[in-house]
């Protein structure tokens, strides 16, 4: 978050408010989101791509009604991947035509809602879904704008669970063996569909642009084959999301304008070579917009030095508010936020309160040796895929999201209560 600093007493502040004030008012753990930073990042993507391209924020990274309104105001579109995300987007006033609907197994009910609402595009993920969406649209007397998601066969250099362009996985239709071309052929024949383009998403937390380069090359190759076979030039291509952010100081992310320039150049070059009109490009950044804008504020509960090993620092949250360390071996940093200290740093592992030894928030870090119960610590870059992947494991209550801007804080997602938990338990 870019408005983070320390006040004269050494307390971390964000948007002009100290974390001690935030903890007092909203409790811990809490996700603290810097609204100005979010808007700046959203705007930077929008500006970088200009009017000839579209930016769809990937709602799976983090979605709430306030976020939808910010995106709307900043001129971004929205990618949703479930009925729940669609409902959130529509209820916060995102115009349906600015919504893209994703997913490898959208239910007929979800498809019908999306078509009825008039979403700008549905991204088709399988042969069966091509027929299913066409049928539903036709029965509603509509022609649905669609893209077809293909897998281009790129091995993105990221964790296996978040790489999506190799062929042996559940998303998309493989380019290999002419399957993607066959999918387009079939879709073009169906009255319920208006095929507007091809979609490729190669993975997430990627720093190396070469995967996008190969993907663009192959997508344009498919556009050319479609033109040659059907005389149709599809007007759009979507290159997905996946741009990496800095979780620790080892990561060196690209700026939106560099990414926009690189992607636009690649697509333009490939299209010129294929003698195709350059299609309208769209992208779907999630993490790169929201990830850096929030940190999680925790209170230290116990400090347990293990001789010759490390010190275990237990905080009042854990894998239920950040599963990424356990799931992807993700790396985070941590800082003492409620004060500064000159004490000698000690090697720590920040762990949660869950009944599981894999409940680790920050694997390896250094914190001041005088760290004590009651201290507040902050874990940066938790804006993406933390609240959105949070769970109630051990019946731990999911933390609130507190948005801070210009010296004012407000809750945009409230803390879960025991009543919330018990309300669902109707046995």
Site for ligand LLP in 200-239 (CB under 6 A): 201, 204-205
Residue 285, annotated ligand binder?
yes
Interface residue with ligand LLP among 29, 172, 211, 240 (CB under 6 A) is 240
Phi-psi region of 205 (alpha: psi -120 to 50; beta: other; left: phi over 0): left
In degrees, rounded to 5, the angle at the alpha carbon of residue 78 between the alpha carbons of residues 286 and 213 is 55
253 counts as binding ligand LLP under rule CB under 6 A: no
| Distance (Å) of CA 35 to CA 7, 56, 95, 99, 409 | 20, 18, 22, 22, 10
Q: Is the Cβ of residue 327 or residue 421 nearer to ligand LLP in the bound state?
A: 327
Sign of the CA dihedral running 67, 98, 381, 81: positive
Q: Is the Cβ of residue 113 or residue 287 nearer to ligand LLP in the bound state?
A: 287
44 counts as binding ligand LLP under rule CB under 6 A: no
Give the catalytic positions in this structure.
355
Which of 386, 289, 260 has the alpha carbon at shortest distance from 79? 289
- Cβ atoms within 10 Å of 208's Cβ, excluding its own: 12
- The DSSP code sequence of 100-166 is EE--SS--HHHHHHHHHHT-SEEEE-SHHHHHHHHHHHHHTT--EEEEEEEE-----SS-GGGB--S
106 counts as binding ligand LLP under rule CB under 6 A: no
**Candidates 62-70, 280-288, 305-313, 358-366; binding stretch for ligand LLP (CB under 6 A):** 280-288
Half-sphere exposure in the Cβ direction for 169 (13 Å, CA): 20
Minimum CB distance to ligand LLP, residue 91 (Å): 22
CB-count exposure of residue 106 (10 Å: 0-12, 13-18, 19+): buried
Residue that is written with structure tokens 């239920």 in the block: 320
Residue 385, annotated ligand binder?
yes
Sign of the CA dihedral running 332, 336, 341, 347: negative
Interface residue with ligand LLP among 59, 242, 383, 399 (CB under 6 A) is 242
Minimum CB distance to ligand LLP, residue 328 (Å): 6
Minimum CB distance to ligand LLP, residue 236 (Å): 15
398 counts as binding ligand LLP under rule CB under 6 A: no
61 counts as binding ligand LLP under rule CB under 6 A: yes
| Chain centroid offset of residue 148 CA | 21
Minimum CB distance to ligand LLP, residue 382 (Å): 10
Q: Is the Cβ of residue 110 or residue 284 nearer to ligand LLP in the bound state?
A: 284
Q: What does the per-residue mask of binding to ligand LLP show for 70-99, with x meaning CB under 6 A?
A: ---------x--------------------
- DSSP classification of residue 408: E
287 counts as binding ligand LLP under rule CB under 6 A: yes
Minimum CB distance to ligand LLP, residue 79 (Å): 6
Element (H, E) at 85: helix 83-91
Q: Is the Cβ of residue 123 or residue 350 nearer to ligand LLP in the bound state?
A: 123
Site for ligand LLP in 162-201 (CB under 6 A): 162, 201
Which of 80, 78, 70, 134 has the alpha carbon at shortest distance from 103? 80
Minimum CB distance to ligand LLP, residue 427 (Å): 31
**Candidates 21-29, 54-62, 109-117, 218-226; binding stretch for ligand LLP (CB under 6 A):** 54-62
Q: Is the Cβ of residue 236 or residue 299 nearer to ligand LLP in the bound state?
A: 236
3 counts as binding ligand LLP under rule CB under 6 A: no
Which of 14, 10, 12 has the alpha carbon at shortest distance from 342? 10
Instruction: Say how far apart CA 350 and CA 403 lie, in whole Å.
Output: 24
* Helices and strands of the chain, counted as H and E runs: 12, 21
285 counts as binding ligand LLP under rule CB under 6 A: yes
Minimum CB distance to ligand LLP, residue 290 (Å): 8
CB-count exposure of residue 388 (10 Å: 0-12, 13-18, 19+): middle
Residue 97, annotated ligand binder?
no
Residue 284, annotated ligand binder?
yes
Give the residue numbers of the binding site for pyridoxal 5'-phosphate.
242, 284-287, 385
Annotated binding residues: 242, 284-287, 324, 328, 356, 385
Which positions lie near ligand LLP, rule CB under 6 A?
58, 60-61, 79, 102, 162, 201, 204-205, 240-243, 284-288, 324, 328, 384-385
């Amino acid at each position: 978050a870019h408005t983070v600093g320390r006040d004269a007493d050494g307390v971390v502040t964000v948007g002009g408010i100290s974390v001690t004030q935030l903890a007092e008012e909203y409790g811990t753990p809490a996700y603290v989101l810097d609204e100005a930073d979010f808007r700046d990042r959203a705007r930077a993507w929008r500006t970088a791509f200009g009017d000839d391209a579209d930016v769809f924020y990937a709602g799976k990274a983090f979605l709430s009604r306030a976020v939808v309104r910010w995106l709307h105001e900043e001129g971004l579109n929205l990618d949703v991947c479930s009925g729940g995300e669609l409902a959130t987007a529509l209820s916060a006033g995102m115009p349906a035509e600015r919504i893209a609907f994703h997913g490898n197994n959208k239910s007929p009910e979800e498809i019908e809602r999306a078509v009825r609402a008039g979403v700008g595009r549905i991204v088709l993920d399988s042969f069966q879904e091509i027929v299913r969406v066409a049928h539903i649209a036709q029965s509603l007397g509509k022609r649905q704008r669609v893209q077809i998601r293909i897998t281009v066969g790129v091995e993105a250099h990221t964790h296996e669970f978040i790489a999506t362009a190799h062929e042996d996985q559940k998303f998309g239709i493989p380019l290999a063996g002419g399957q993607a071309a066959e999918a387009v052929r079939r879709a073009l024949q169906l009255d319920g569909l208006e095929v507007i383009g091809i979609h490729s998403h190669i993975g997430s937390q990627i720093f190396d642009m070469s995967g996008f380069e190969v993907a663009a090359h192959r997508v344009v190759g498919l556009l050319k084959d479609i033109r040659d076979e059907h005389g149709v030039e599809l007007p759009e291509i979507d290159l997905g999301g996946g741009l990496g952010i800095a979780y620790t100081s080892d990561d060196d992310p690209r700026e939106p304008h560099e990414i926009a320039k690189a992607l636009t150049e690649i697509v333009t070059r490939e299209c010129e070579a294929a003698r195709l009109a350059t299609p309208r490009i769209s992208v779907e950044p999630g993490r790169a917009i929201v990830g850096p804008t929030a940190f999680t504020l925790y209170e230290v509960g116990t400090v347990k030095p293990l001789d010759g090993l490390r010190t275990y620092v237990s905080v009042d949250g854990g894998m239920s508010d950040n599963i990424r360390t356990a799931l992807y071996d993700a790396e985070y940093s941590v800082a003492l936020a409620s004060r500064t200290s000159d004490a000698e740093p000690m090697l720590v592992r920040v762990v949660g309160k869950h009944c599981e030894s894999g409940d680790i928030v920050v694997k390896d870090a250094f914190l001041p040796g005088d760290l004590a119960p009651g201290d507040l610590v902050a874990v940066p870059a938790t804006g993406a895929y933390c609240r959105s992947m949070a769970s109630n494991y051990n019946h731990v209550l999911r933390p609130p999201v507190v948005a801070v801007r210009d010296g004012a804080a407000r809750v945009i997602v409230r803390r879960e209560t025991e009543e919330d938990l018990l309300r669902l338990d109707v046995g």
